[in-house]
Structure 1
């Protein structure tokens, strides 16, 4: 449905368009008539025109064009508006294409700028580190020149003693933490795995007293009423972890003779033997392997934790991973 107030404007616009079309058609006819007259009046010369004749022809044509009245649209014609719209549309299209072509180059310039900024920051950090290093070397050289060799030797010995004491304290603390972890957490989990339960880490909350019942074929903890008697339980412990004397357990322990204590003693003994083997080998990789009678949960745990590794050709030999050397040495 069209609104009434749009009809006069529409009619005026249609009238302007009609006048413009008539005007362009009239101009087209005039040009066609002029071309026809030129064709009919022109004669083919017998010979090629001379340069003077060609120059005279061009000069006459330019004079005619200069003296002729230019074609201008009539007042009220929509031709200027149409030309302006076409020019504006062409300008917008060219601008959009130019912006699109410049977007990729702008992104590339931005990435290059960021890369150059990063390189500059790295160079500045390197320069600062080198300047600090040069300053410290100069200060150290000046101090050495001021001190006698005896003073330097004494200071070096004192520094080595201090470092040795610091490492002893750290080693003692680490050993205590390892014993606590084995006693409170790792031992029961190792015992559970050896008794047919889940792998170490899958069942973290284990009561050592519940281990006496053992595990079912499905790896689930049996009920307390199914616990074996004391003699049968002790025989099972000796079969899995060896006799108490072989395990090196003290005569009196907090949980003497139970499965968790046997697993604790077994992992401690294994770690101690591996450390002794590594120290006694004195860098000889072929002499640092310990022969193990069987593969237990403690052995599997050390291997999974990347603390120990099997011999590449003998699965009954185990060694600690020397973290100061290449594993494949």
Structure 2
């Protein structure tokens, strides 16, 4: 009794196809080698090419022959297409892992950079959407306001405009008061001692930033350096009183007797003269000068010639304003000073 034929399994069928594909490839390789050997034998006995035209003719003939020949196609059940597809897929996967910064990759992690760019683009998109929503809400509010104004009477419109002007004026007044307060604090705390030092023969404002009020009592030398205060008062209380009197007379000579009467210029019997020093007097002078200049500028009504104020002397305060490009002297009269109108052209 003969044995029944063994059934062909999927693995055995695949092995048969692989073996046939290998034999087919070997046959195709052998055919190409035979053709190449024939070409080599022909070239060995042929004369060398002497011109580019002959070389071009040979190449054209070869291309035409290759175009007329049938392409190599594997048989229907060949595993060659699947192997080529697997090799191509494996190469693409390896390149993708390298580009994405996979394990063992020496290139920079491009995936992290792409994710960072994506997050930045998402943030920009959210900002644009928020801006769009805000603009749409603003457009709706403006349209509603226009519709409401369309039903207002002329008197209501005038009243609305008047209320807006009053609100702006109130805001301007509040900002002006805050600025004047800050200016006063700066003059009294920082600028006053430096102005006093310049008036007493010391460096100009800014040349000595940290000026102590007690140092001003000793004055400055002819070289503009601080004099050393006396080490002791041998005359006792009377000598100290005489030094204070001389100091006060010096203040009166430079800044005038008003500095001894108080900031408002009114005599006050209860005012302590010892509270007034060089820094305080210089600060009062600067405050009065700036106030006078501001009032003159506001009352000039755009007339630059009416904005000048007459100063009794060329003080350190006036020189500081001129150096700071805040004010300037009259071109033909050095006793007149005015603020620079930053809102107009300098056409004096």
Q: TM-score, normalised by structure 1?
A: 0.55
Equivalent residue for 1:328?
A: 347
Matches of 2:179 and 2:273 in 1, distance apart? 22
Residue 297 of structure 1: CA displacement? 0.8
Residue 298 of structure 1: CA displacement? 0.2
Matches of 2:274 and 2:167 in 1, distance apart? 40
Residue 164 of structure 1: CA displacement? 1.1
Equivalent residue for 2:256?
A: 242
CA 1:253–1:285 in 2, change beyond 3 Å: closer, same or farther? farther
Equivalent residue for 2:61?
A: none
Equivalent residue for 2:187?
A: 182
Secondary structure of 1:274's aligned partner? helix
* Deviation digits for residues 166-207 of structure 1 (CA, Å, limit 9, x no counterpart): 111111111111111111111001000111111111211111
* Deviation digits for residues 264-285 of structure 1 (CA, Å, limit 9, x no counterpart): 1111111121122223322221
Equivalent residue for 1:265?
A: 284
**Larger relative helix fraction:** 1
Secondary structure of 2:191's aligned partner? helix
1:319 aligns with 2:338: yes
Q: TM-score, normalised by structure 2?
A: 0.52
The one of 313, 319, 326 equivalent to 1:294 is 313
Residue 319 of structure 1: CA displacement? 0.3
Matches of 2:342 and 2:331 in 1, distance apart? 18
Residue 256 of structure 1: CA displacement? 2.8
Spell out the pairing of 1:157-196 with structure 2 (5 A cutoff): 157-196=162-201
Residue 254 of structure 1: CA displacement? 9.5
Equivalent residue for 2:123?
A: none
CA 1:201–1:255 in 2, change beyond 3 Å: closer, same or farther? farther
Indicate conservation of the 8 Å contact 2:326/2:339, yes or no.
yes
Matches of 2:290 and 2:276 in 1, distance apart? 21
CA 1:245–1:214 in 2, change beyond 3 Å: closer, same or farther? closer
Matches of 1:254 and 1:167 in 2, distance apart? 38
* Deviation digits for residues 114-140 of structure 1 (CA, Å, limit 9, x no counterpart): xxxxxxxxxxxxxx9xx9999998776
Equivalent residue for 2:86?
A: none
Spell out the pairing of 1:1-329 with structure 2 (5 A cutoff): 71-72=48-49, 142-225=147-230, 229-244=243-258, 249-250=263-264, 251=268, 252=271, 256-329=275-348
CA 1:281–1:309 in 2, change beyond 3 Å: closer, same or farther? same
Matches of 2:143 and 2:171 in 1, distance apart? 29
Equivalent residue for 1:42?
A: none
Residue 72 of structure 1: CA displacement? 3.8
In structure 1, list runs of 5 or more residues that go unmatched: 1-68, 74-79, 81-127
* Deviation digits for residues 97-120 of structure 1 (CA, Å, limit 9, x no counterpart): xxxxxxxxxxxxxxxxxxxxxxxx
Residue 295 of structure 1: CA displacement? 0.9
Instruction: Using the TM superposition, name which of 319-328 and 250-259 deviates more.
Output: 250-259
In structure 2, list runs of 5 or more residues that go unmatched: 1-45, 56-131, 232-239
